[in-house]
Homo-oligomer: A and B are copies of this chain.
Amino acid sequence: MNKRIVIIGAGNVAYSLAKAILNTNNFSLCQIYSRTIESARSIGVRTGVAYTDNILEVYPDSDIYIYAVSDTALQNIIPSIHIREDALLLHTSGGISLDIFSKMPNSHGVIYPLQTFTKGRELDFKEIPLLLEWSDKKSCDILKKLAAELSDVNIEVDSYRRKLVHLSAVFVCNFTNHLYDLSSRFLEDNDMDFDILRPLIRETADKIMSMKPEYAQTGPAKRGDDIVISAHKKLMKKRENMMEIYDVMTESIFKLYKKEDINIEVEEENTYSISNPTLW
């Protein structure tokens, strides 16, 4: 079989997906549509695929349409493109239900790549978890074949659980980056370079590749070390937003570990060897 695909959207997800589709055997990418000609051209030129910014020029006879646009754009763009009724419609959003397609007569599904896509960074699409959902047997069959060619990690997840994953992703990606960002600005304002934190940031992430995060937790909040905590607070006097985050995170960690890991805490108190002198 050879299924033709049109991608609607020309952002970072669209581009990564386009490149990955070009590497499949049974699917071909035939067109990219974007609302602006610059974005359409940018991704069209980089992938060697036809592109357009004219919604009337979107090929009406493709087999699959993948909507890789922002959540706000998705609702409006679905009914505005005229396509044949037996085409499969897919979107790539973590936060939007499958039934956004329910007014369309087409089979439909979701293919949500769980990753942060950044211009200029080439990722191995095979390693990106794809969260899949479908409306019927037809969309199930095609979507599973497509996903299997795109990635080694395919997971069937309903709309509700996909939203839970999406929320978790905000915590581990957006919020984590904000912690990096605050620290970077804090060091910069004190004439120090963010570079010195990079090995620590990498190891903090690397560590939980093979470890449950609860076993990797360390630091004054976990130990309930009031002396260190109040010393830290003095350093943030003029940093209201850091202070607020510090308080909420510290309290959350403290509460969590007060209830559990009693053995580890006791061991830390009794020996020099278990507690970590660097405080985290």
Q: Judging by beta carbons under 8 Å apart, are A221 and B174 in contact?
A: yes
Q: Judging by beta carbons under 8 Å apart, are A205 and B197 in contact?
A: no
Q: What DSSP secondary structure best describes chain A's contact surface?
A: helix
CB distance from A165 to the nearest CB of B (A): 7
Q: Judging by beta carbons under 8 Å apart, are A245 and B236 in contact?
A: no
Number of copies of this protein chain within its complex: 2
Contacts of A192 in B (CB 8 A): 157, 161, 164-165
Contacts of A280 in B (CB 8 A): 116, 169-170, 173-174
* Count of chain A residues near B, Cβ 8 A: 127
Known contacts A168-B197, A200-B114, A207-B118; A277 and B178 CB within 8 A of each other: no
CB distance from A9 to the nearest CB of B (A): 5
Centre residue among A221, A235, A273 by max chain B CB count within 10 A: A273
Contacts of A128 in B (CB 8 A): 199
Q: Judging by beta carbons under 8 Å apart, are B203 and A123 in contact?
A: yes
Known contacts A172-B183, A183-B168; A199 and B114 CB within 8 A of each other: yes
Give the segment of A65-73, A99-107, A139-147 that binds chain B.
A65-73
